[in-house]
Amino acid sequence: MTIKVKIILIVLPLIIVALIITSISSYFLARTGITRLANDLLGFKTEELQKNAVNQWNLLLENNLTEQEEFVQAAKAGILSFAQSLIKRDTEVIFAFDSEANITMKTQTENPITFLDNEIPVLKQLFADQETKLVEPFLGGVERVATGFYFEPFKWYYLVTIEKSTFYQEVNQITNQSFIILGASLIVSFFLLLFFAIYLTKPLATVAQTMRHIISTNDLSERVHVEYKDETGDLAHTFNLMLSALEKAYNQIKAYAFKASLAEKKEKKIRNIFQKYVPADVINQFFANPEAMLIGENRVLAILFSDIRDFTTISEGLSPDELVNTLNKYFAMMVEIIMGRKGIVDKYIGDAIMAFFGAPVKHTDDALQSVYTGLDMIDAIASFNNEQKRIGMPPFNTGIGINYGSVTVGNIGCEKKIDYTVIGDMVNLASRLEGLTKQYKQKLIISEDLRNLVVDDVPCRMIEKVRVKGKTKGVNIYSVVRELSENQKRGWQQHGKAMRIYYDREFKKAKEMFGGVLNFLPDDYIALYFIEKCDKYIKTPPPPDWDGTEIKKEK
């Protein structure tokens, strides 16, 4: 027996076994990977569908609508719509059924699945087990892979499914290709072994030495030296081609990794930049759901306006650099307070600040936090002005108006230019309240709607019933302080009694009562203001339909 035959008899079986093992391993690895992919994909869709169902039900719970059938049906329709948005292939179906395997929801409208009699027990068993792991049932006569969850509020079991062949057809192709490759490899190996037996010495030693060097150094740029223009040379050349492809693929992987790293850094940079213009919660919301960028919604919010009084006069006495630096320090201080109280800075309007509380994330104490924000801003202004006085700069006197009511909030504009902001009548009223602080010489004025929500936590004093420009009805306005001294408590109690007498048109008695306020709060502007009005109405009584509303024609 020649050495060539010995080599073939020894090496060829090893090649056959190795190729078979590789083919089998490839098959099972591919199947395992596809199964994991199916599990991850279906698990992700199932999780998202379950989150949506829970959110729909929580919305009903929060609004006490769980007993109203039309709203429950609307929630179910919302879940169906969301399920349909998850469907990406014709072979995917999402449906729900009850304990009797009655279909209660399905995304398939054309060629719907018809369950066979022997499949009904499978559905009932899934319902009974409330299975959440990946299963492979026959449904409609077709083997499918599916994951599901049980939803207690509807007593439905949701099942996210896709035809098994959709995932595993590539595995079958791999199997077929493996057999083809196996057969081809055997033929090639046989002939190569014949030539390897002839050129067993130097050519093989050269190739083996080069291979070992590449493996030890991981230098894919090295190539095997082709000594002969024969099969051994072909082997060396083929190996070089493989190295070229591997080197190219490796370089591409490094390039992709580098680009991915740059993209991640770029996204972080963009986020950091735009968080100075748009709230972080809004950016996160629109990264997750960009198609919702131009959709507004009605929300009940607290809206705050703050303005520096006589800012034009102040700016005339400062150089541009001084003005910018002073404003930047002022804005930094105010924004820190607003954001610390979970508020959103909407915009700067010249020297004014507009902010709101309750969007995009709603909190149970938004109303109270807005008032605390105004009080914190007043305290901060006092410290700011002390520093301004120390460095010889003019002080800032601010007025703050806060309203609470229903507005439209969202991205207002178009695709080329949008602002995340609030609009509505309640916003206009908040702006008017800020303007009234100067007329009534108050640092902070709030609306009656806001006062009703915070009166148990902070002292409030009614100033007057006014009808601001742009409104047809009067509203009560209030001043707020963090806490009252003993004299303030007595003065505010006296003021409240005087106001009731004033609105009862007993102006002489009301004047005396307002005078009593001055015994506790000397030089109180509001008391002096109403004493003057009482004198006016004593001389010239108001008309019979007078309800005490003060009409404000200016903004």
Residues 89 and 207 in one domain: no
Residues 408 and 329 in one domain: yes
Q: What is the pLDDT of residues 176-218, one digit of tens each?
A: 777 787 778 778 776 776 666 665 556 556 666 767 777 777 7
Residues 298 and 427 in one domain: yes
Phi and psi torsions of 210, nearest 5°:
-65, -40
pTM of the model: 0.52
Domain boundary among 153, 168, 183: 168
Q: What is the pLDDT of residues 25-48, one digit of tens each?
A: 766 666 676 667 767 778 888 888
Total domains, the chain: 4
- Give the separation between CA 188 and CA 194, rounded to whole angstroms: 10
**CA distances from residue 19 to 22, 51, 181, 215 in whole angstroms, order as listed:** 5, 47, 9, 22
pLDDT of 386 over the 80 cut = yes
- Domain-embedded: residue 173: no
Domain span at residue 535 reads 484-555
Residues 377 and 494 in one domain: no
Mind giving me the DSSP string for 117-183? GGGHHHHHHHHHHT--S-B--EETTEEEEEEEEEETTTTEEEEEEEEHHHHHHHHHHHHHHHHHHHH
Q: What is the pLDDT of residues 93-134, one digit of tens each?
A: 888 888 888 888 888 766 667 778 888 888 888 888 887 888
Per-residue pLDDT, 180: 81
- Domain-embedded: residue 298: yes
| 146-156 mean pLDDT | 89
Residues 333 and 428 in one domain: yes
Query: Could you give the residue ranges of the DSSP H alpha helices within 218-349?
Result: 231-274, 280-288, 311-316, 320-340
Residues 344 and 477 in one domain: yes
Specify whether the CB–CB gap between 426 and 403 falls below 8 A. yes
- Domain-embedded: residue 245: yes
Residues 319 and 405 in one domain: yes
Lowest mean pLDDT among 250-264, 350-364, 416-430: 250-264
Residues 430 and 357 in one domain: yes
Domain CATH number, residue 18: 3.30.450.20
